Structure 1
Amino acid sequence: MATTSSGTGFDLATFRRALEEGDTDTLISQFADDADIETVDRRTPPSMPTVIHGRDSIEYYMRQVYSMDTDHEILQCVMEGDHAAYTERCTYPDGLTVMSMTMLDLTDGRITHQSTVQAWDEEAPDTPRVVDFATTDARVEFDHGHTEAVRLAGQFLNRMTLEPGWRWSEHRGAEAGTDLCMRTHTCLGMEGTLAFRTADGEEQRVGPGQVAFIPPGHDAWVEGDEPAVIVEWSMDR
């Protein structure tokens, strides 16, 4: 099977090189405007996959992934017709290894759908390590807030600071291309209050010292005049 281009006009060799070198501009340019990325792993099983919709949201996701000091290695890469597939090994500074298998659906030289199944080391490394959100290079700014990300002992931790007036449906919904947030969150409230409402109408609040699990299909907003600071963690990239 060819590993360069196909009748779709998609250049797999360029895409592979961008994946391994962390060339986010080239990676993002390979996706169609209304593309989807769907990820399945232990935390988000097939019944509740993580879904990222639209190139703007994919760009935000890609820049977060490649802001980390991570080695990306493509082990196998194939293409046939309007489909491509690859296996990838990612190694983080703390020794965590993530293996993934990805299928790409292609139309007119662009990715329209990406499906990824991934797994990672279950045991945390033995070497002690301390990280500081304040010094991480993985900081992303957005309307009414910002995030800072670190990886520690096999987990990805993300500190979100959300300003008063922030609401997911208002400030992120258009970019995501969905009415509700379709990502899963397991988080700890540090400051302020974050409220959320699920698709079935259940509404709850997360305050300082409270831990919450928020399933996909929800809206969320900052309640009150104080910024909400939330730390969320996961094992995925």
Structure 2
Amino acid sequence: MSAVLEKSKLVRKSSDTPDEVRPFADNKGRLHVYELGDHIAGKGEFEPGWRWSQHVKPIAGTDSCQAAHTGFVIQGRMIVKMDDGSQMEYGAGDFFYMPPGHDAWVVGDERCVLVDVTGVAKYAKPH
């Protein structure tokens, strides 16, 4: 990871040069991590067939995803199901908030690509 940047400096990062790439199990996608001063953002690429409980749970070591995610879906579709059984489908053009305590999976045969600005720091990172 790169050195911490000063808060008073402008930051620009190309999506082609992440600070870190975290692969998911079975080559079902990856999280590109970008350090932006005191903030961390991520671009998630989730392949068809990806499911959190199969492809990230072994990395996270928790029963459900414990990260809160806030962001925007660029491409594809994803269903998020909360531990309480409620669920919602998100698609290209949707902003989202996903509280901790959920499973998620890609819908259909198209890769889901999204930008996450809150749940990246420890996501898909071994504990």
TM-score, normalisation: structure 1: 0.46
What secondary structure does 1:135 align onto? coil
Distance apart, 1:69 and its partner CA: 0.6
1:205 aligned onto 2:64: no
Distance apart, 1:177 and its partner CA: 2.8
Equivalences for residues 33-48 of structure 1 within 5 A? none
Partner amino acid, structure 2, of 1:141: P
Task: Give the length in aligned residue pairs.
Answer: 119
Q: Match of 1:169?
A: 53
Query: Following the alignment from structure 2 to structure 1, what is the Cα–Cα distance between the partners of residues 104 and 63?
Result: 11
1:69 aligned onto 2:69: no
Q: Match of 1:187?
A: 71
1:224 aligned onto 2:108: yes
Conserved? CA contact 1:184–1:215, under 8 Å: yes
Query: Following the alignment from structure 1 to structure 2, what is the Cα–Cα distance between the partners of residues 181 and 235?
Result: 10
Equivalences for residues 42-191 of structure 1 within 5 A? 68-70=1-3, 92-93=4-5, 95-96=6-7, 125=8, 127-143=9-25, 144-152=28-36, 154-191=38-75
The one-character-per-residue Cα deviations of 1:34-63 (angstroms, maximum 9, x if unpaired) are xxxxxxxxxxxxxxxxxxxxxxxxxxxxxx
In structure 2, the CA distance between the partners of 1:234 and 1:150, relative to structure 1 (3 Å rule), is same
Q: Which of structures 1 and 2 has the larger relative contact order (alpha carbons within 8 angstroms, sep 6+)?
A: 2
Q: Supply the RMSD in Å over aligned alpha carbons.
A: 2.0
Query: Following the alignment from structure 1 to structure 2, what is the Cα–Cα distance between the partners of residues 190 and 236?
Result: 17
Distance apart, 1:199 and its partner CA: 1.0
Larger Rg: 1
Query: Following the alignment from structure 1 to structure 2, what is the Cα–Cα distance between the partners of residues 230 and 236?
Result: 12
Higher strand share: 1
What secondary structure does 2:117 align onto? strand
In structure 2, the CA distance between the partners of 1:177 and 1:140, relative to structure 1 (3 Å rule), is closer
Which runs of 5 or more residues in structure 1 are unaligned? 1-67, 71-91, 97-124
Query: Following the alignment from structure 1 to structure 2, what is the Cα–Cα distance between the partners of residues 235 and 175?
Result: 15
In structure 2, the CA distance between the partners of 1:140 and 1:177, relative to structure 1 (3 Å rule), is closer
The one-character-per-residue Cα deviations of 1:124-181 (angstroms, maximum 9, x if unpaired) are x3x3332112122412222200111112254211001000000011112233333211
Which runs of 5 or more residues in structure 2 are unaligned? 122-127
What secondary structure does 1:134 align onto? coil
The one-character-per-residue Cα deviations of 1:87-127 (angstroms, maximum 9, x if unpaired) are xxxxx12x14xxxxxxxxxxxxxxxxxxxxxxxxxxxx3x3
What secondary structure does 1:169 align onto? helix
Structure 1 consecutive aligned stretches of length 4 or more whose deviation exceeds 6 Å: none
What secondary structure does 2:22 align onto? strand
